[in-house]
Amino acid sequence: MQAEGRIVESFNSGWVFKKAPAGKELAVNAPKWESGWTEVEIPHTWNAKDMQVQFDNFYEGPAYYKKHYFFPVEMEGKRVFLRFEGVGAVAEVYVNGSLVATHKGAYSAFSCEIGTVLKPGADNEIIVKADNASRPDVIPVNHVLFGVYGGMYRPVWLIVTDPYNICVTDCASSGVYITQKNVSKKQADVKVKVKLDNGTLQPAPLTLQNTIYDQEGKQVATQSRSFDLAAQGVQSFEADFKIKNPTLWQGRKNPYLYKVVSRLVRDGKVIDEVVQPLGLRKYEIVAGKGFYLNGEKYPMYGVTRHQDWWELGSALKNENHDFDLATIMDIGATTVRFAHYQQSDYLYSRCDSLGLIIWAEIPFVNRVSGQEAENTRSQLRELIRQSFNHPSIYVWGLHNEVYHPHEYTKELTKSLHDLAKTEDPDRYTVSVNGYGHMEHPVNLNADIQGMNRYFGWYEKKLQDIEPWVEGLEKNYPDQKLMLTEYGADANLLHQTEYLENSLNWTKPFYPETFQTKTHEYQWSVIAGHPYIVASYLWNTCWKP
């Protein structure tokens, strides 16, 4: 279904790129750098090769992207926005020399309004400064656990609307938030909240229409509301629906999707429209028993996924995401943990359609600096608002293997849990520990406790996974536990028939056969212990 009203165009071509000349890092100098620019197509990263072949010596720091844009006179009076899906890691956006936006965080989208500084009927210069140098106030605070690729590595969009619109700059979200309650085969209660923005100086008489369509395009329900939209502040409007005898979103078995179309109407004409997915489902986790989807026990056998391809880095196109998802589907996974950061919205949308139940998280990983609290909360808020309507997402990940100082980490995790529950009361939260004991001081500050365990690889023997699980079952029967990483590394060129029950790390020899043995044995333990609500094999990262 093609949206009406607004214009949404790709803004990925016509860019030139240059690393910052030494001593000239200020973006205001960029127009004067006449030489050394290279034509690039977005998505683009400057670390596609150096980060993969010389991780201890890759370029991290500032670089610039420049593009010229002719703004037609006939579009004067329209509102113009840029939406960046991902810039690694800290961004500044300038239009005709004026700063229009800053953003901290490599993995979440951000949007900015640029129409007020564009010159109609003239050439306009747009400069984006990207800087992937690690810093203590932006998560992740270092490149240790994984490298943060620099650049405009996800697509950029030009959005043009009338002066009155469904909000474009609410944390770069859709401006539409769909919640569902009391979901069953008999009925589902759906609430649609739409945020509207008036860019003029006067109230405007408008009508907001929210309509739900089934998968075949047939109208299921609709509501309209007329009002004068105030010129001061973003306004929210809600519509409530009861859907009788719905077709439920049943994971891989039947990932049935409705659509919610929100239309803004003025003088009988649609001036803006946003289309969002609606998968009617109910997630429930019962400690000691497992995961339930729409009241039915559902197997949560999963993998993790990094957005990392050989010679592409993180600058992936949709066909790369599709390849990864096809492989995940082929091995029979039912759930995916997208580690350790916000990933492409296209990827989340495909999981909606494929029926994969997914875990989305922020890059609060590995270390703390004591200066990242504000940015950590900001990135979680962005993740939730931008991904709010994806039915495939069941949990928000708060942190992964973050420890000292324990009290700081504990209190920040509590605040993240509270923020997630304020933004989205209906989904679970999870934090992940790399130790195997429940009483660790940073644990139990989220709905779910995840534990990363590598028996036979980083510690002990393969068989030690079973007494570990049995001990937790006995001592903490009421806790919701997930095995959030497990497995072993392997080199396809390393093969042997002789296998022990743990890897000898004194030799640089990582046989594929040991990796296979690890998974086969530990899979049997996972399958026999429903106390492990979900399991995630580390790691599905392909480099064709």
By annotation, the residues acting in catalysis are 401
Amino acid (one-letter) located at 66: K
Number of other residues whose CB lies within 10 A of the CB of residue 161: 24
- Alpha-carbon span 178 to 391, nearest angstrom: 10
- Alpha-carbon span 28 to 32, nearest angstrom: 8
Tokens in use for 162? 């009338």
- Return phi, psi of residue 152, to 5°: -90, 80
Residue 109, phi-psi category: left (phi > 0), alpha (psi -120 to 50), beta (remainder): beta
CA distances to 413, 432, 437 from 442, in Å? 8, 9, 11
DSSP character string of 271-318? EEEEEEEE----EEEETTTEEEETTEE---EEEEE---BTTTBT---H
Cα dihedral sign for 114, 115, 117, 120?
Answer: positive
Outline where 331-464 has alpha helix (H). Answer: 345-354, 373-387, 406-423
- Alpha-carbon span 429 to 448, nearest angstrom: 6
HSE (side-chain half, CA atoms, 13 Å) at 122: 10
DSSP letter (8 states) at residue 491? B
**How are the residues of the chain apportioned to helix, strand and coil, as percentages rounded to the nearest 5?**
20, 35, 45
- Alpha-carbon span 27 to 422, nearest angstrom: 37
Tokens in use for 435? 């130790």
> Hunting for tokens 């800290």 — which residue is that?
90
β-bridge mates for residue 241, sequence order: 190
Residue 394: strand, helix, or coil: strand
Number of other residues whose CB lies within 10 A of the CB of residue 2: 5
